Structure formats: structure tokens, C-alpha cells
Structure 1
Amino acid sequence: MEELPIGRRVSYWRNRRKMSQQVFADRLGKSKSWVDKVERGVRRLDKFSVVYEIADVLQLDVQLLLGKDPERRPDSMNCIDQIEVAEIRSALERYDQISAFFYATPEPPPITEMRKAALHAWQTWEHGRYGVLARALPKLLRDAQAADTAYAHSDDSREAAHLLGQVYQLASSVLRKLGELDLSWLAADRSIAVSQRAGDQLLAGVATTRVANALRALGRHRAALEVNVNIANRLCPTPGATTDDQLSVYGFLLLQGAMAASCIGDSATMRDLLSAAQEAAAGLGGDKNHYWTSFGPTNVLVHRAAAAVELGEGGLAISIHDGLDPTAFNAMLPERRAHHYLDMARGFAQVGDVERAGEMLLEGDLLAPAEIRCRPIAHEVLSDVLRRTRGTPTASLAELAEQMGVGV
């Protein structure tokens, strides 16, 4: 954000507010020519009073115009915008290890602080607070990259690489959710390389699922299937010598492979992978969250329902959903449950039950609003539900549509 000239930030936010230069100028008491020169960088904004007036007209935190992080409520539901995407991209474009050959590396944060920051970021992700995580990512990426470079030849080298691999995975996951697919693939690819330096096969295994999910989001389903299955085969459990961590990552890879198979209509491979995942989950003995996988019997069922939706078998997905153990399902992390509700909204829409589909969207919104309000697929589902609703939608659904900017 800091790299963008203030004039471009003014132009971006004026357009986002759907305000013409003339209307904007009138509300500022300036000429249209003045606004045009500011936005093109011909005229400097060197008075704070004018910057504050612009922020007021744009109904914007003045810190955003100044290229700084604004004060935000921790429960803010704002989704990511293009200025924030640009800042994440800038952080991903850093090559600290190469620069270290020519310049002194910046003072890195202590490993203990990085460990706490990564843990907090995972918790933010698991509760579906994507906007909050996206705004924290640029600094987190810069800090993790600096730490990985600075500690490269110390006893902390592997842990620093491990933490950077985690941050790349988080970046990939949230960027994919928010529709920034190319950046999601880049971050996931970086995570695999860093995981290898960390010497952790399981971290690399989870990173593989991030790459595969990015590929799947880009429409490259067969490539996603192959990479998941290949790495799963390498992590295949050995009787008596398999840890819960390994079993969880192995099962998670199988689930993501099953989703990729469903996307290309390969129902036989999908069923085989789901059956193998179910067997792995049984060996785990319950729902766990090793290596941030949320893997276990309940997550296998949730993925069975999601895969059925991808195949267009909404009725089967509903049957699976209705058979979920409420206690086990409610113990899952908010992101997982809200994601399932979004999948089920699609499933109910497939069988023509748009009323239940709307209810699923509302359930997901109550649980993790960003999963519904910030994801492009959720906007598509809500638009479809509203289009097919006979008469007037419920007040709750109409309110959600208004907040999401989806026409009723």
C-alpha cells in the first residue's frame, strides 16, 4: 500500500465508491480539473487538512489514503480490496535470500515472536476471519522472510523455514478463498520449496494440498488430482510405525484428491480416495487438527457431501448432511463448518430447495461471516437463490444480500 502514490489511492477509492470525478469535486468544493491532476500525480496533496477532507468525502479511514494500516475493529468483516492485494503481492515478490548477498539483512523478529504470530494467524484462519488475516499478511510475510534469511546459518534455521512455510500456506489459503488465484498458487509453490529446507515431509505434504487447491481453483483439476495422490502414496501409513500427524496429513491429501476427482467427474477414483481417507480417519480414532488439517471421521463425511455437490448429486449430499452427528460437527472449527454450509447451499439449490439453500447461507454467515460475504462462489450461490425464489425473500436473506451487494 505504501508503494502506491496517494493520487492513485484517491482514484481507486473514488471509483470503488462509484463516484465520478465531477461529483467528487463538487463534494470537496474543488474543480474537476483539480481532482484529475491529483489523481494523475500532477498536483501534490501536501496539506493534511485536504487529505482529511478527501477521506471524509470517501467515508474512508485517513490512514488508508496515507498508505498506513488503519485502526480496525478486530471483528471487522471488511473483505480484501485491490490495494491490500497489491501489498500482499509486494510482500510475495521479495527475495530476501538473494538480497542478502548484496545488502545487510534487516533485523529479524525473534523466533519466539514469529512462533506466536504464526499461531495467531492460524487461529484467525480457522475462525474464518479472512479480511483480518489478509490485512496482517504483508507484515507477517516480510517478518517471516526476514527471519528465514537471517537465521539461515544458525541453530534456528529449520524452525525459521518451517514458520515461513506456514505463513506461505496461510497466504495461499486465504488468497484462494478471496479469489486471488494466481497469487494463491505462487504462495503455495513457495511453501513447498521452503518446507523441503525445513526438512519436514509432513509440512511439505500439507503444502502440496495448498498447491493442489490453487490448481483446482484455476480449473486444472487433473493436475491437482495427480499431485495429491502422488504425495499421499509417499506418506502411506506403515503398520506400527505411523504417527497421528502422518495419518492426518495422509488422509488430508486423500480428501483433496477426492475433491479434484469429483471436479472432473471421475466418481470411481473419488470413491476410492474417500474410502481410503475413511480408513485413515478410523485409525486416528476421532477428529483431530494435526498439522492444521481438521482431519477425522467427521471431516471425511463433510468432504463426501462436498464431492457429491461437485458431481451434481445434491440429494446424496443432503442425505450425508442429515446424517452428520451434531455434536461432532459442532466441535469442528468455524471455517470448516461454514464451508460445509456453503457447499450444502449449493446442494439444496441443485435439488430445487432454494429455501433451505438460503438457510444454509444464513447459517454459514452466523458462524463465519467472511466465508459467505467474502467468497466469490458464495455471491454466485446467493444470486442464484434469489433469482429462483418465488415471491419476496425472507427479511434475513434480503438483508444478507444487501450487505453483500447482491441484487434482490
Structure 2
Amino acid sequence: MDELPIGRRVAYWRSRRKLSQQVFADRLGKSKSWVDKVERGVRRLDKFSVLHEIADILEIDVQLLLGKDPERRTDGMSCIDQVEVEEIRAALERYDAMSAYFAGAPCPPPLADMTKAVNHAWLTYQYGRYGLLTRALPKLLRDAQAADAGCTGDQAQEAAHLLGQAYQIASSVLRRIGEGELAWLAADRATAVAQRANDPLLAGIATSRVCNALVAMGRPRPALELNVNIANLLAPDTGKVTPENLSVFGTLLLQAVMAAARLGDSATVDDLLTGAQEAATELGGDHNHYWTSFGPTNIELHRAAAAVELGDGGRAVLIHQRLPEPAFNALLPERRAHHLLDLARAYAQVGEVGPAGEMLLRADRLSPSEIRCRPIAHEVMADVLRRTRGAPTSHLAELAEQMGVGV
């Protein structure tokens, strides 16, 4: 995009942020006609102060508007930046398998090394270290694509399985940091690769990533229908139940729960939670098969999250209060921090902004990326600050400053 005129770059990023010209103009304090002229190149953008203001509204580094590489962060906080987004995008745009079809595949990386790298990436995600993960993802995707393109015979399915997982990891972290369309692309790739891996459970989990991306893009209805459809196809047969099957089946139902909650369909939410609860009971505890973290405790976390989506923050708080503390503390940091963020939203819904702020602080101590890097967390923080009487606590004010949310 470096060769584009600056006005075209503004138009590109405005479109990526799903802002109309009118909304963008209002935020800038300009007219829609002014924005239109800038984007068409009729009006020059020669004031650096205006460029900075535009970059702030579009949430990008000003260097991107100038056609230059953004300055890399040197701080220790691990949020994704636009350099990393574009590097992941470039990796997703590769078609190594097609190139190999015409010209032969390069020597693939050893599958043992790839397995270790994929497992490490999953753990990095589930520990909420998104910045570290996004910096590693481009190479992981390229290596997994090369392995998938170059492996033949018995190794082909294993390589496809690893690539499918790499796509799922990319989809999950991209959705968390607000890149819904890229998350959908990665998840869609994962479903296709999972079929070549000949693993219905991997395909089932990949489907849930597609549905998560659809919900993030404001498409909960198809997400609900797809989750339920694939869950029904993977429903465990009597006498042939495996822990892995129960975990994937239950996870699909839980993702359907969140889609139904987004639609405001409380009856369907209850029905799906009942089905997921039965699977968790049969599983007999919290497990991480296929990296799902599925089990009875995760059911309660989704029950609370669904209540928040339905606008019943009080119920979500009650669900949290009855959670067995040892079981909750045994969950991976990402799951716990995600729940505390939901709980902050719940407290805010019932007007208890003090506890809402405390939940944000607790979640930040568990997984800073889950709070500092997610758009929804920024929205909750802004809401808490706006409704706090007097000055916020010093700890909350410090966190808000680190997040870039104005006090």
C-alpha cells in the first residue's frame, strides 16, 4: 500500500475501521465534503497535526498514512501493532500449496519441530501473552504452510493438522484484538485444512473459530446455526464416547450459547447450556483436549458471559459468587482474565462501577494483554471512568493511562 496517495490510505483505513465518511468527519470536526476531497486527492493533507489527529481516530501509527513502516514499540507491554497485523496478513495471503503444485515444494521443516512450535503457540495464547504470540505468528504460519506443501505420504495428514491448528491460533488472537475479518479468513482456512487432515474433531473446533469471527463481525445468526449444525453432527454416540469428542461437542454448544445470547434468545441459551452441561458432567472435570479448556467450570463462565450479553449483569455476578474458587483458580490465565472482564461488564450493568474497576485490575494482573489490548476492555474502562464519582483510584487511573483510555 506504500505507493498509494495519502488520501487513498486514509480511505483504506477508514473503511477498515467501518467508519462512514460522515462519522469520520464528525469525529475530526470537519465536513463530509472535506473528507471526500481528501480521499480523492483533491485536497492536500499537509498539516502534521491533522495527520496525527486522523491517525488517532483510525487507531493506527501516523507513519502508515505517510507510506512508511510504523515505529516498533520498545516498551514491555505486549499489544499487537499495525506492523504485526500486516505481517500476519501477508502470511495468510501465502499459497504455498498452490505454488508447490506447479513448481514443486521446498524442503519442509521437520514435523517434530513444528509440533513443538504449535504447542508452544497454543500455550502462549492460553496464558494471554498476545504480543509475544503475534510476533511469532508470521513465521509459524509460513513454516506450517511450507510443511503442509512439502510433506507427502504418511506425513501429509500430520502436516495438515499442524497447519490447521496454526490457522486457529491466528484466528483466535486476531479476533481478540478486534481484527474480525482477518480472524474469519484464518478460521475459514482452518476448516479447509482440517478436512485434509482427516480429523472431524479438528474440523469441529475450526468451525467454532469461524463462528466466533462471525459473531465478532455482527453475524450471530449464521454463527448460531453453524455451531448447532456441526455439534449435532459430532454428537457423541452411546458407547463410543471419548473425552476429546465430548470436549469438542461441548465447546461447539458453548459458542452457540454466545451467539444465541448476542441475538437475545434466552430460551435457546438455556437449552444449549443444558446440553453442554450434560457433556461436561460426562467428561467429569475440566480438561484441555483440543485446547478447548472445556469442563464444568468453563460452563459456568459461559453461563455468566451469556447473562452479560443478555443484559442481566446481576445474574452474572451471582454465578461468579458460587464458582468453586479452587476450580476457577486452576483454569489457565486467559480463561480467568476473560471471565473477570465479563464480570467487570456485569458490575457496570448493575451500576457498581467500583467493583467493575476492581475486576479490570484483577484481570490485568492475571493477563495484561486481555485487558490492555482488547477493544471491549477499553470500552468497559471508559464506561467505568465516565461513571465514577470523583477521581478514580490511583491504580485504576494508572491502568487507564497504560491502556490509553482518558481519565
TM superposition shift of 1:80: 1.1
Q: Return the alpha-carbon distance in structure 1 between the equivalents of residues 304 and 104 of structure 2.
A: 52
The aligned counterpart of 1:313 is 312
Q: Return the alpha-carbon distance in structure 2 between the equivalents of residues 247 and 21 of structure 1.
A: 57
Q: Return the alpha-carbon distance in structure 1 between the equivalents of residues 144 and 330 of structure 2.
A: 31
Q: Does 1:213 align with 2:212?
A: yes
Q: Return the alpha-carbon distance in structure 1 between the equivalents of residues 109 and 100 of structure 2.
A: 16
Q: Return the alpha-carbon distance in structure 2 between the equivalents of residues 130 and 96 of structure 1.
A: 26
The aligned counterpart of 1:405 is 404
Q: Is the 8 A contact 1:341 1:364 kept in 2?
A: yes
Q: Return the alpha-carbon distance in structure 1 between the equivalents of residues 102 and 232 of structure 2.
A: 42
SS across alignment from 1:100: helix
> Quick one: which amino acid aligns to residue 382 of structure 2?
S
Q: Return the alpha-carbon distance in structure 1 between the equivalents of residues 234 and 376 of structure 2.
A: 32
The aligned counterpart of 2:284 is 285
SS across alignment from 2:275: helix
> Quick one: which amino acid aligns to residue 202 of structure 1?
L
Q: Deviations over 1:335-382 (max 9, x none)?
A: 000000000000000000000000010010000000000000000000
Q: Is the 8 A contact 1:169 1:210 kept in 2?
A: yes
TM superposition shift of 1:77: 2.3
Q: Deviations over 1:119-175 (max 9, x none)?
A: 100010000011111111111100000000000x22200000000000000000000
Q: Return the alpha-carbon distance in structure 2 between the equivalents of residues 106 and 198 of structure 1.
A: 20
Q: Return the alpha-carbon distance in structure 2 between the equivalents of residues 393 and 21 of structure 1.
A: 34
Q: Return the alpha-carbon distance in structure 1 between the equivalents of residues 48 and 67 of structure 2.
A: 12
The aligned counterpart of 1:274 is 273
Q: Deviations over 1:57-93 (max 9, x none)?
A: x9x5xxx5xxxxx9x89xx423111121111111101
TM superposition shift of 1:101: 3.0
What is the aligned-residue identity percentage? 64
Q: Return the alpha-carbon distance in structure 1 between the equivalents of residues 272 and 281 of structure 2.
A: 14
Q: Return the alpha-carbon distance in structure 2 between the equivalents of residues 97 and 80 of structure 1.
A: 28
The aligned counterpart of 1:342 is 341
The aligned counterpart of 1:98 is 98
Q: Is the 8 A contact 1:287 1:299 kept in 2?
A: yes
Q: Is the 8 A contact 2:2 2:67 kept in 1?
A: no
Q: Return the alpha-carbon distance in structure 1 between the equivalents of residues 296 and 135 of structure 2.
A: 33
Q: Return the alpha-carbon distance in structure 1 between the equivalents of residues 208 and 113 of structure 2.
A: 27
The aligned counterpart of 2:326 is 327
Q: Deviations over 1:183-226 (max 9, x none)?
A: 00000000000000000000001101100000000010011100
Q: Is the 8 A contact 1:188 1:207 kept in 2?
A: yes
Q: What does 1:12-161 correspond to in 2, within 5 Å?
A: 76-151=76-151, 153-161=152-160
The aligned counterpart of 1:369 is 368
Q: Deviations over 1:30-76 (max 9, x none)?
A: xxxxxx9xx679xxxxxxxxxxxxx9xx9x5xxx5xxxxx9x89xx4
What is the TM-score normalised by the length of structure 1? 0.83
> Quick one: which amino acid aligns to residue 139 of structure 2?
K
Q: Return the alpha-carbon distance in structure 2 between the equivalents of residues 83 and 228 of structure 1.
A: 33
SS across alignment from 2:286: coil
Q: What does 1:291-310 correspond to in 2, within 5 Å?
A: 291-310=290-309
TM superposition shift of 1:265: 0.7
The aligned counterpart of 1:387 is 386
SS across alignment from 2:338: helix
Q: Return the alpha-carbon distance in structure 2 between the equivalents of residues 268 and 379 of structure 1.
A: 31
TM superposition shift of 1:98: 1.2
> Quick one: which amino acid aligns to residue 165 of structure 1?
G
TM superposition shift of 1:21: 5.3
SS across alignment from 1:165: helix
Structure 2: segments with no counterpart, 5+ residues: 11-46, 50-62
The aligned counterpart of 2:18 is none
Q: Return the alpha-carbon distance in structure 2 between the equivalents of residues 125 and 242 of structure 1.
A: 28
The aligned counterpart of 2:174 is 175
Q: Is the 8 A contact 1:77 1:129 kept in 2?
A: no
What is the TM-score normalised by the length of structure 2? 0.83
Q: Is the 8 A contact 1:287 1:295 kept in 2?
A: yes
SS across alignment from 2:154: coil
SS across alignment from 2:236: coil
Q: Return the alpha-carbon distance in structure 1 between the equivalents of residues 106 and 354 of structure 2.
A: 55
Q: Return the alpha-carbon distance in structure 2 between the equivalents of residues 364 and 269 of structure 1.
A: 30
Q: Return the alpha-carbon distance in structure 1 between the equivalents of residues 97 and 258 of structure 2.
A: 36
> Quick one: which amino acid aligns to residue 139 of structure 1?
K
Change (3 A) 1:237 1:106: same
Q: Deviations over 1:2-40 (max 9, x none)?
A: x969xx9xx99xxxxxxx759xxxxxxxxxxxxx9xx67
> Quick one: which amino acid aligns to residue 236 of structure 1?
A
The aligned counterpart of 2:193 is 194
Q: Return the alpha-carbon distance in structure 2 between the equivalents of residues 4 and 147 of structure 1.
A: 31
Q: Return the alpha-carbon distance in structure 1 between the equivalents of residues 67 and 265 of structure 2.
A: 52
Q: Is the 8 A contact 2:78 2:129 kept in 1?
A: no
SS across alignment from 2:101: coil
Q: What does 1:347-358 correspond to in 2, within 5 Å?
A: 347-358=346-357
Q: Return the alpha-carbon distance in structure 1 between the equivalents of residues 257 and 264 of structure 2.
A: 10
Q: Is the 8 A contact 1:131 1:370 kept in 2?
A: yes
What is the aligned-residue RMSD (CA, Å)?
2.5
Q: Deviations over 1:317-344 (max 9, x none)?
A: 0000000000000000100000000000
Q: Return the alpha-carbon distance in structure 2 between the equivalents of residues 156 and 105 of structure 1.
A: 14
- How many pairs are equivalent? 357
TM superposition shift of 1:254: 0.6
